[in-house]
Chain A
Amino acid sequence: MSIQEQAQKIIDEFAIFEDWMDKYNYLIEMGKSLPVIDEKYKTDQYLISGCQSKVWLSAEMQDGVIVFKADSDAVITKGIVNLLIRVLSNQRPDDILNSNLNFIDQVGLKEHLSPTRSNGLVSMIKQMKLYALVFKTKMEVNG
């Protein structure tokens, strides 16, 4: 599934919620259901520090796509991390670099990507794109 298709799927999922509480309950569920990252990645090396919540992110190249794994100490942050992983993981570096993440706005969670929240999500997206750039460069160098 392409990034756009994944994003649309999430928008459709959220469309059924009539009030914020249902939406957040769903987000909390997703936060809880995100596979917990391997403990070996929960180190400072993989830490993306927000001032409010922490995010750990790892990335691996497998058969031309990047597989992201992530975790957070706050469950709502983790729910949004889950959304970002669903959309951007298992995608080609070029597609990740060219992606826009408007779906977060469309499902009404834009406030969590505001820099004043400092929950680690903005830095996480930057870091995901940075990984994509690094893997893309590596692929080009190695031909």
Chain B
Amino acid sequence: MAVNFDVNNIRKDFPSLHQSIYGKPLVYLDNAATSQKPKVVIGAISEYYSTINSNVHRGVHYLSQKATDAFEDARNHICQYLNARYSHEIIITKGATDAINLVANSFGKKFLKKGDEVIISALEHHANIVPWQMICIEKQAKLRIIPVNDSGELRLAELESMMNERTRIISVTHISNSLGVILPVKEIIKMAHNKGIPVMIDGAQGIVHKKVDVKDLDCDFYCFSSHKFYGPMGVGILYGKEEILNEIPPYQTGGEMIKTVTFEKTTFNDLPFKFETGTPNVADMIGFDKALHYIESIGMENIEAYEKELFNYASERLVTIPGITVYGDKCERIGVISFNLKGIHPYDAGTIIDKLGIALRTGNHCAQPVMDRFNIPGTLRASFAFYNTKGEADVLMGAIHKVQEMLG
């Protein structure tokens, strides 16, 4: 483990971790749904509304200028963090779902025609399925799925044969939200680019556990939400290569995204504003900027190293439980352990585990096709962040034993 990483100190930065649930200390293992927020983020939002709150990009007055600067600083910061070429390649959205809808609609409108094909994987969250499904129906295009094998691993050889001259775009997740499986996105991007096909990466989980460099990945789009990455809810990021962003039409229209408007004709603003209509979520972007600073102050490499150690610790112990099935356990995974207990419905197990003060998720995790693939109603999902401890993994072990005692 990195020598300069002290989880007990880190936990002090997260006020919400220090509370009791049903009289027991909270063990928060639902980080794949949303992360808790450090004090600096919570403070920044309050500070913004207490001081420079103002609408951005329009006023010549002092406060508007301050708010605009802070908002654009946040964009520049994200640009640097992702190693994007230009800050106008960073589009601010409501979240990852909004970003995928934007691309599916705008890219689809421009490039999809009858008989064309879009490829996604069998491990996607509904947010990276349904927007593509909708635009494919509208354009009479076909949605094709890269299958996974029984261990949850993507069958890349099949992707090779699926790509053809009708394939317009491939959109895959970086890390599966339901199983924690890490997809070989760099390889997928390379394979696709060899055939001239652009690739979108859903990084909602990926950004949290991996240092992302969009230049190195060479992806055409990458998106994520702030709230899973220690920032506030309500904002997200779409990175897109300038060339492709310039080619596709606006998604939603209104103020801010226009250059000139008459009742006969409207001309659109340049990037990134072409895709950002209406008043943006300034406060939460400033909060997210602080979250990013916070992550950088700890160091993503330290976070990755600690998370790997914690994940291995938890995984190695969980697999020793009699009657447990861990999904995707033969694959390289991070952050998420998805499992079932023999003869016990995940809803029942989740109900008991909740009573023991542990927050984890049960159900299909907005990934019904993944559950169908394994022919299960759902799973129990424990998802870890860098503020979780080995002690908390032990508490989960104890809770599972209790569940088996009560329900087995």
Binding site for B on A (CB under 8 A): 20-21, 24-25, 28, 51-54, 73-77, 112, 118-119
Number of A-B contacts (CB under 8 A): 43
Check B406 against A73 for contact (C-beta < 8 Å): no
Q: Pick from B22, B348, B364, B406: contact of A74, CB below 8 A.
A: B348
Check B22 against A20 for contact (C-beta < 8 Å): yes
Name the distance in Å between A119's Cβ and chain B's nearest Cβ: 6
Name the distance in Å between B275's Cβ and chain A's nearest Cβ: 32
Number of residues of chain B lying within 8 A (CB) of chain A: 16
Give 17 CB contacts A-B under 8 Å. Answer: A20-B355, A21-B355, A24-B351, A24-B352, A28-B348, A51-B363, A52-B350, A52-B362, A53-B345, A74-B348, A75-B345, A75-B407, A76-B348, A77-B345, A77-B348, A112-B351, A119-B347
Residues of chain B within 8 A (CB-CB) of A51 are: 363-364
B interface, by DSSP: helix, strand, loop or mixed? helix
Check A52 against B407 for contact (C-beta < 8 Å): no
Chain B, residue nearest A27 (CB)? B351
Residues of chain A within 8 A (CB-CB) of B350 are: 52
Residues of chain A within 8 A (CB-CB) of B407 are: 28, 75
Check B346 against A52 for contact (C-beta < 8 Å): yes
Extra 15 A-B pairs, beta carbons < 8 Å, given A52-B347, A54-B377: A20-B355, A21-B406, A24-B351, A24-B355, A25-B406, A28-B348, A28-B406, A52-B350, A52-B362, A53-B347, A53-B377, A73-B345, A74-B345, A75-B345, A77-B347
Q: Does B378 sit within 8 A of A, measured CB to CB? A: yes
With most chain A CB atoms within 10 A of its CB, the pick from B351, B362, B377, B406 is: B351
Encoded as 1 (CB less than 8 Å from any A CB) or 0, chain B from 259 to 275 comes to 00000000000000000
Name the distance in Å between B368's Cβ and chain A's nearest Cβ: 9
Name the distance in Å between B408's Cβ and chain A's nearest Cβ: 11
Residues of chain A within 8 A (CB-CB) of B362 are: 52
Check B406 against A52 for contact (C-beta < 8 Å): no
Name the distance in Å between A51's Cβ and chain B's nearest Cβ: 6
Chain A, residue nearest B343 (CB)? A75
Residues of chain B within 8 A (CB-CB) of A24 are: 351-352, 355, 406
Residues of chain B within 8 A (CB-CB) of A76 are: 347-348, 351
Name the distance in Å between A81's Cβ and chain B's nearest Cβ: 12
- How long is the Cα–Cα vector from A52 to B368 in the complex, in angstroms? 11
- How long is the Cα–Cα vector from A77 to B350 in the complex, in angstroms? 12
